[in-house]
Amino acid sequence: MLVPLGLAYIASVLENEGNDIEIIDMNAEKVTDEHLQRRVSDADVVGITGMITEYQEVLRITNIIKETNRHIKVVLGGPLATTTPQELLQISQADFVVIGEGERTIADLVSAIKQGDNFADIKGIGCKDGNQISITDRPEPIANLNIIPFPARHLLDMNRYVQNQFHSFSSKMEGFGEIKSTNLITSRGCPYSCTFCFRDMWGYKWRGRSPENIVEEMEFLYAKYGINGFFFNDDTFVLDRNRVFEFCNLLKERKLNVVWFCNGRVNLMTKELLEAMYEAGCKEIAYGIESGSQKMLNSLKKSITLEQVRNTVKWTKQAGISANGYFMIGLPGETKEDIRQTIGFAEELDLGFYGFSLLTPLPGTELYNAAVEKGLIQADMASLKDWAFNTNVNLTKDCSNEDLVAFKNEIFRKFTLKNFGKYYMFNPAFLKRATKVALSLQNINEAKDLARKTKGIIQSYWHKA
């Protein structure tokens, strides 16, 4: 379970402004509708964040809050609100949306709500005035991320989140002792142009926290919660090599005995950088490899080569770091031979962990717009309900839906069973995690979604022969 950093950052900013704040993590807490109503009944403002896959749940929670107290101002934020602000205000009972990076905007908005001010001068919001909806210009991104206070983790039950998340990758940290890990983020923005990636939240301009600021947060978490394992959720943690070198040196200077994981990019890694990262406690790096076909990588505008992948994976292993990789199939114009190349390339790399997925064009991406133009996706809010179950669109050149399912089952056999064993579904750790998921269900719709997903997993499992 990951700390909801977006909510925690917003909460921290608002708390610093003198507001009484409560965080309700619907993913971590078992909150019934009645319990939710009791907790929000006296609130002046309720903010809701959500991904595109949570569209229906965002609408449902908005309705519950308005039914509880119609005077509560409901503010929607996150990727869903950023992608479709106008449409969300039209179809939901929400009063406002915050578009993109929210810390500065939400502070201005809450202040204006409390004082009854005009909202027209607040950048980065959408609001209703009767039947009229207005969307203001987006503000400039926050240039200095060091000025943002640390996430308000004290408003969460951290016992829900502090765990050995390295187990998710079947990692073994021999000689290190008990690992208590959590997630944090050290940078925002990405300058690359991958067609499948959603960048509207943080933008194209990369901004990084200073090494001192990062290590200060790590030391705080170590002292307060005993956390000694860190998952950096940045899209491009390694973009500024000098920053990474400084960060690694500072960790060693402070003698902070920790392990950590980050996302890397194969075109940015060097042997020297990887060696420095290992000496500073880096145990795993995940690379977005995506495909074993150079033609497909070029079509995705990934800006990497297969040779860079081979070299970087080799260097990562030589440095003593576990190399993990993420791949996709079902790409635009992809052929069966391309998918075969991807499977063969993945086997050749012999990674510590494999993550495979069927391509899903997300609203707000170049890939999604192309699919809309071809008539493969409806560009309206009615179709968003399908995203609650990870809708996939077949954009390949010569693969039927049945072909893609067959490839998915083959990948499952070759990589999931290889990593976790033939009887992984009966592994105590897996069963414990599955039980937690089942107990966290909020309503019948979530139960139905889980049942559908479980059915798919079981079908894949029994097709392993």
Q: What is the pLDDT of residue 155?
A: 97
Reported confidence tier of residue 439, pLDDT bands at 50, 70, 90: low
Handedness of CA 225, 231, 235, 240 (dihedral sign): positive
Q: What is the pLDDT of residue 423?
A: 45
Comparing 440 with 114, which gets the higher pLDDT?
A: 114
CA distances from 158 to 182, 230, 460 (A): 9, 14, 35
Shared domain check, 88 and 54:
yes
In this structure, are strands 132-135 and 125-129 parallel, antiparallel, or unpaired?
A: antiparallel
CA torsion, points 137, 143, 97, 161, in degrees to nearest 10?
170
Structural domain containing residue 412: 162-359+395-418
- The count of residues in the chain is 465
Mean pLDDT of 59-88: 95
Shared domain check, 204 and 58:
no
Q: Is position 91 within any domain?
A: yes
Residue 443 has pLDDT above 80, yes or no: no
Shared domain check, 426 and 399:
no
Q: What is the pLDDT of residue 215?
A: 98
> Can you read off the two tokens belonging to residue 453?
């997903």
Lowest mean pLDDT among 147-161, 370-384, 408-422: 370-384
Shared domain check, 334 and 265:
yes
Question: Residue 57 sits in a domain of what CATH number?
Answer: 3.40.50.280
Residue 463 has pLDDT above 50, yes or no: no
Average pLDDT, the chain: 88
Residue with tokens 């089952």: 409
Q: Which residues pair with 285 in a beta bridge?
A: 262, 323
Shared domain check, 176 and 105:
no
Comparing 283 with 427, which gets the higher pLDDT?
A: 283
Mean pLDDT of 107-125: 93
Instruction: List pLDDT tens digits, range 379-422.
Output: 665 556 655 444 567 889 999 999 999 999 999 888 877 665 54
Q: What is the pLDDT of residue 385?
A: 62
CA-based radius of gyration for the chain: 23
In this structure, are strands 96-98 and 125-129 parallel, antiparallel, or unpaired?
A: antiparallel
Instruction: List pLDDT tens digits, range 299-347.
Output: 999 999 999 999 999 999 999 999 999 999 999 999 999 999 999 999 9
Residue 444 has pLDDT above 70, yes or no: no
Question: Residue 333 sits in a domain of what CATH number?
Answer: 3.20.20.70
Residue 94 has pLDDT above 80, yes or no: yes
Shared domain check, 411 and 461:
no
Q: What is the pLDDT of residue 384?
A: 65
Residue 464 has pLDDT above 50, yes or no: no
Closest CA relative to residue 354, chosen from 264, 290, 404, 299? 290
Q: What is the pLDDT of residue 389?
A: 45
Phi-psi region of 375 (alpha: psi -120 to 50; beta: other; left: phi over 0): left
In this structure, are strands 259-264 and 229-232 parallel, antiparallel, or unpaired?
A: parallel
Residue 199 has pLDDT above 50, yes or no: yes
Residue 211 has pLDDT above 70, yes or no: yes
Q: What is the pLDDT of residue 248?
A: 98
Residues 266, 304: contact at Cβ < 8 Å?
A: yes
Shared domain check, 235 and 99:
no
Angle CA(107)–CA(109)–CA(111) in degrees, nearest 5? 70
Comparing 191 with 116, which gets the higher pLDDT?
A: 191
Reported confidence tier of residue 131, pLDDT bands at 50, 70, 90: confident
Residue 112 has pLDDT above 50, yes or no: yes
Mark which of 96, 118, 135 sits at the end of a domain: 135
Q: What is the pLDDT of residue 460?
A: 47
Residue 68 has pLDDT above 50, yes or no: yes
Q: Is position 115 within any domain?
A: yes
Domain count, the chain: 3
Handedness of CA 33, 39, 41, 44 (dihedral sign): negative
Residue 427 has pLDDT above 70, yes or no: no
Residue 27 has pLDDT above 90, yes or no: no
Q: What is the pLDDT of residue 117?
A: 80
Q: Is position 227 within any domain?
A: yes
Shared domain check, 317 and 227:
yes
Reported confidence tier of residue 368, pLDDT bands at 50, 70, 90: confident
Shared domain check, 123 and 178:
no
Shared domain check, 269 and 342:
yes
> Can you read off the two tokens belonging to residue 99?
């578009």
Please state, for a pLDDT cut of 90, what percent of the chain lies above it. 69
Mean pLDDT of 238-263: 96
**Dihedrals φ, ψ of 325, to 5°?**
-140, 145
CA distances from 328 to 92, 411, 459 (A): 33, 11, 20
Shared domain check, 169 and 123:
no
Q: Is position 222 within any domain?
A: yes
Q: What is the pLDDT of residue 442?
A: 52
Show the 3-state SS of the chain.
CCCCHHHHHHHHHHHHCCCCCCCCCCCCCCCCHHHHHHHHCCCCEEEEECCHHHHHHHHHHHHHHHHHCCCCEEEEECHHHHHCHHHHHHHCCCCEEECCCCHHHHHHHHHHHHHCCCCCCCCCEEEEECCEEEECCCCCCCCCHHHCCCCCHHHCCHHHCCECHHHHHCCCCCCCCCCCEEEECCEECCCCCCCCCCCCCCCCCCEECCHHHHHHHHHHHHHHHCCCEEEECCCCCCCCHHHHHHHHHHHHHHCCCCEEEEEECCCCCCHHHHHHHHHCCEEEEEEEEECCCHHHHHHCCCCCCHHHHHHHHHHHHHCCCEEEEEEEECCCCCCHHHHHHHHHHHHHHCCCEEEEEECCCCCCCHHHHHHHHCCCCCCCHHHHHHHHHCCCCCCCCCCCHHHHHHHHHHHHHHHHHHHHCCCHHHCHHHHHHHHHHHHCCCCHHHHHHHHHHHHHHHHHHHCCC
Q: What is the pLDDT of residue 388?
A: 46
Instruction: Show Cβ contacts of residue 438 under 8 Å, excluding neighbours closer than 6 positions.
Output: 450
